[in-house]
Amino acid sequence: MRKISTALFLAMLAAGAASAATGTTTNAMPASVYARAEAVLPQHIGELVFDLSVRPTWIGDGARFWFVKHTRHGREYVYVDPARGVMRPLFDQAKLSDALGKARVKAVSRKDFRLGGLQVDEHTGELRFDAGGRHWRYAPTTNALASVTEEDGVASPDGRWRAVVRDGNLFVIDGKDGSTRALTADGTPDAPYATPVIDPSLMIAADSEHPALPADIAWSPDSRRIATYRLDTQGARRMALVQSTPPGDGKPRVFDYVYPMAGDTIVPRAQGMVFDVASGKRIAMQLPPEPVLYYGGPGFAWSRDGTTLFERVPMRGDKAMDLYRIDAATGAASSIAENRSDTYVDTYAHSWYYDDKTGTNYWSDDATGWKQLYAIDGNGDSHRRAITSGQWRAWGVEGIDHADGRLLIAGSGREPGLDPYLCALYSTAMDGSHLRLLTPEPLNHDVSVSPDGRYFVDNMSLVNRPTRSVLRSTRDGRIVMQLDHADASAFLAAGYRFPQPFEATAADGKTRIYGAYYLPADFDPAKRYPVIEDVYTGPHYVMTPKSFEAALAARNDEAMAQLGAVALMIDGRGTAGRSRAFQQPAYRNLHAVGLDDHVAGIREMAASHPWIDAGRVGIYGFSAGGYDVVRALEDYPDFYTVGVAASGNHDNRIDKADWNEQWLGSTLDASYAANSNIRQVDRIRGRLMVAFGEVDNNVPPSESLRLVDALMKANKDFQMLTVPNADHFLDNVPYYQRRRWDFLVENLLREQPPEDYRMRPFD
């Protein structure tokens, strides 16, 4: 037997102890595994799967449209005229490329060809678009290309007026003589007109705390009036973001911005008003100033004759929401629809569709336990007419066929025997009678209805069934034109597998819950694979994709699986998309609902799939999902042993008012403390990585840093990654994606990551 020196023996013992402490081994993962995973990241999936869906841009008020076809060779712009049965190129791409080249716009290959902000004139067919940092006008029939100067301001419907905001005041520019007239003179930085609460990402992009923004207004159809508001931010909470390494090696920049937090006594408020353009007269809307709890401002809908406005206004604390009818001439306002609840009105799922042709408001409410639609006349009669009913979910009005007198309504959960989240399109008479299913295939139907209500584009698919995109008639659902079909042949030829849907039983032993799982390309049923869960239990959201496009292009799970794991996601109780009773358990209870269903679902899957190792479960998520990761390691430390938490809102008391008050109320009572991840970090036993962007515009970096502070005080080991210049969505950063893989590979798969692996930049 060969002798081993004492020093070497002690070194081996130390290495073994370190390996046991971290749960890792010295097996090195080949770089080819990372390359296999990188190829199916959402940012690159378009190189393996083509024509994932058809997204129509409708032209005018009829049924003509164009869409971008994503092929193996690059983008193609396609024009469709349903009435004539025509589908052809929107323009001659070679001619336009040549014309742009002659205009000294850098030539691009067909693969990279794209037109920004493309618009098609419904009368002339002329194109307007951006390319090479300039605005262009192009006539496909004559191949005439001209550079154009973008006019300042929001144009009136008749084209005569343009509204602009300057130094907090509202002006109109007369197109006849170019004169400018002030509608206000007392606007200030803290109390501007027609200006929303500004998202700091806009400040960072413009390198200014006062970026130039379009006037936030609504023109009346007759161009006589402007509906807008004055924002008052005085005394409201302000935050600051530090951009440590701005582009160009500039000095660090600090951006001060308004950010109302949950429970704040003083928040921004917006007072609605109407301006008569000709006279300059101001009419105050007779409503209390509206709290603005996040970025943006109030929105208004005009009646067709320009005499009446409608506004949806939620009450702070989200126990009530009203639809107001406002007289444009006097500002008099009255509520014509209201939703009330002892707990919460779900403003995130609420739908409101105003039909200016009939003056009817289509309004949703889940007072029956299921989200259903109601019709309310816009003339002040507040009587509701039920349009839909039953134990299924009506998502909203997608369009109206006035010629045939029918509404087009999206819904889910009505057809027996199907995943209750699968979306379908229905038609019904204006009074709600004669409901008819237009999409009978047992698939998810992602639809877009033409402005005239006669046709709709239907992207039908499942997570394991490639998209078929067709044009259908709204009269009977008949397919009138085949538009496209997703091409996954290269994906399959490379050995990858489609994800699979599954269902399981919740922790209550009776409720059915739904999810999807992904397998590595080299899957071997004789092996056992750890689980990597992609988590998000926000009550406003459905995490599990239902369409083929979302499964591959909107989730990271296909890539995660390629590391050598079963990647999956589940929607447990307390989330959106089903009944009120299914969502209600999350109210004031974000920390203690949902994950028990995830644990139960994974264990049930492992019991029926022997290749799932439920003894090795990792978890990752961002935003509310980042919150879930830490909660999982705190509440289920024997089940979840490794977690990556990105951009998490770990303490709801220092997060945005809008989302948190929806689910926890507007008073910072004991429930806020109970829902904080900070209070129980001592319960974490697994391996944790905390990541955030330094200029996160949605969840302040202080949320993650407060968690880090608590972890340090509890003497917990963890990894932290701060990403310079990154906002809320860290998945856009290749380095973060790689570091997340490294952490999961080392701590869950117990292998050494490839050394110095460098990802390709994302487009």
pLDDT > 90 in the chain, percent: 90
Whether the predicted pLDDT of 487 surpasses 70 = yes
Using DSSP's 3-state secondary structure scheme, residue 433 falls into: coil
Q: pLDDT, tens digit, for every residue of 488-520?
A: 999 999 999 999 999 999 999 999 999 999 999
Provide the pLDDT confidence category of residue 24 given band limits of 50, 70 and 90. very low
pLDDT of residue 107: 62
Cβ neighbours for 711, distance < 8 A, ≥ 6 positions apart: 681, 684, 688, 690, 718
| Degrees, nearest 5: CA angle 327-332-334 | 95
- Both tokens of residue 722? 């701060």
Q: pLDDT, tens digit, for every residue of 685-703?
A: 999 999 999 999 999 999 9
Whether the predicted pLDDT of 762 surpasses 50 = yes
Whether the predicted pLDDT of 329 surpasses 90 = yes
CA–chain centroid gap for 18, Å, is: 42
Provide the pLDDT confidence category of residue 457 given band limits of 50, 70 and 90. very high
pLDDT of residue 247: 87
pLDDT of residue 661: 97
Query: Mean pLDDT in the chain?
Result: 94
Whether the predicted pLDDT of 2 surpasses 80 = no
C-alpha distances (whole Å) from 480 to each of 81, 86, 90, 441, 487 are 11, 11, 20, 16, 21
The full length of the chain comes to 763
Stretch (H or E) spanning 485 = strand 479-485
pLDDT of residue 21: 42
Confirm whether pTM is higher than 0.75.
Answer: yes
Q: Which among 713, 720, 651 has a CA at the least distance from the CA of 688?
A: 720
Stretch (H or E) spanning 631 = helix 624-635
Whether the predicted pLDDT of 94 surpasses 50 = yes
230, amino acid identity: R
The single residue listed with the structure tokens 């990241």 is: 41
CA–chain centroid gap for 473, Å, is: 29
pLDDT of residue 113: 85
pLDDT of residue 3: 42
9, amino acid identity: F
Using DSSP's 3-state secondary structure scheme, residue 761 falls into: coil
Cβ neighbours for 589, distance < 8 A, ≥ 6 positions apart: 574, 671, 675
Neighbours of 22 (CB within 10 A): 13
Give yes or no for a contact between 542 and 571, defined as CB atoms under 8 angstroms apart.
yes
| Degrees, nearest 5: CA angle 632-586-638 | 20
Provide the pLDDT confidence category of residue 151 given band limits of 50, 70 and 90. confident
Of residues 111 and 258, more confidence is placed in 258
The residue-averaged pLDDT of 30-35 equals 98
CA–chain centroid gap for 598, Å, is: 23
Q: pLDDT, tens digit, for every residue of 379-392?
A: 766 678 999 999 99
pLDDT of residue 725: 95
Give yes or no for a contact between 614 and 590, defined as CB atoms under 8 angstroms apart.
no
C-alpha distances (whole Å) from 362 to each of 73, 354, 382, 410, 576 are 44, 6, 12, 13, 21
The span from the CA of 748 to the CA of 264, in Å, is 41
Q: pLDDT, tens digit, for every residue of 154-175?
A: 999 999 999 999 999 999 999 9
The residue-averaged pLDDT of 9-19 equals 40
The span from the CA of 333 to the CA of 325, in Å, is 5
Q: pLDDT, tens digit, for every residue of 654-683?
A: 999 999 999 999 999 999 999 999 999 999
367, amino acid identity: A
CA–chain centroid gap for 263, Å, is: 25
Give yes or no for a contact between 466 and 454, defined as CB atoms under 8 angstroms apart.
no
pLDDT of residue 380: 62
Conformational region of residue 452, where left means phi above 0, alpha means psi within -120 to 50, and beta covers everything else: alpha
235-244, 590-599, 610-619, 722-731: range with lowest mean pLDDT: 590-599
Provide the pLDDT confidence category of residue 15 given band limits of 50, 70 and 90. very low
Q: Quick one: CA dihedral 628, 630, 634, 637, positive or negative?
A: positive
The residue-averaged pLDDT of 115-124 equals 94
The residue-averaged pLDDT of 335-342 equals 95
Instruction: Tell me what percent of the chain is helix, strand and coil, each rounded to the nearest 5.
Output: 20, 35, 45
Provide the pLDDT confidence category of residue 20 given band limits of 50, 70 and 90. very low
The residue-averaged pLDDT of 190-202 equals 97
Neighbours of 447 (CB within 10 A): 20
Cβ neighbours for 267, distance < 8 A, ≥ 6 positions apart: 236, 237, 260, 291, 292, 293, 316, 657
CA–chain centroid gap for 266, Å, is: 28
pLDDT of residue 25: 55
Provide the pLDDT confidence category of residue 214 given band limits of 50, 70 and 90. very high
The span from the CA of 626 to the CA of 648, in Å, is 4
DSSP assigned state of 85? T
DSSP assigned state of 278? T
| Domains assigned to the chain | 16-48+490-749 (3.40.50.1820), 57-148 (no CATH), 417-487 (no CATH)
Give the chain's radius of gyration (CA, Å). Answer: 28
Give yes or no for a contact between 395 and 422, defined as CB atoms under 8 angstroms apart.
no
pLDDT of residue 26: 63
344, amino acid identity: Y
Q: Which among 741, 737, 761, 762 has a CA at the least distance from the CA of 751?
A: 741
Whether the predicted pLDDT of 422 surpasses 90 = yes
Q: Which own/partner pairs from 59-62 qualify as long-range (CB within 8 Å, at least 24 positions apart)? A: 59/120, 59/122, 60/122, 60/123, 60/451, 61/122, 61/451, 61/452, 62/122, 62/450, 62/451, 62/452
pLDDT of residue 132: 87
- Both tokens of residue 665? 């109320």
The residue-averaged pLDDT of 283-310 equals 97
Give yes or no for a contact between 741 and 40, defined as CB atoms under 8 angstroms apart.
no
Burial 650-688 (b: 16+ CB within 10 A, else e): bbbbbbbbbbbbbbbbbebeebbeebbbbebbeebebbb
pLDDT of residue 1: 36
Give yes or no for a contact between 634 and 595, defined as CB atoms under 8 angstroms apart.
no
C-alpha distances (whole Å) from 108 to each of 104, 112, 113 are 12, 6, 6
pLDDT of residue 4: 41
Give yes or no for a contact between 549 and 498, defined as CB atoms under 8 angstroms apart.
no
User: In degrees rounded to 5, what are phi and psi of residue 96?
Assistant: -65, -40
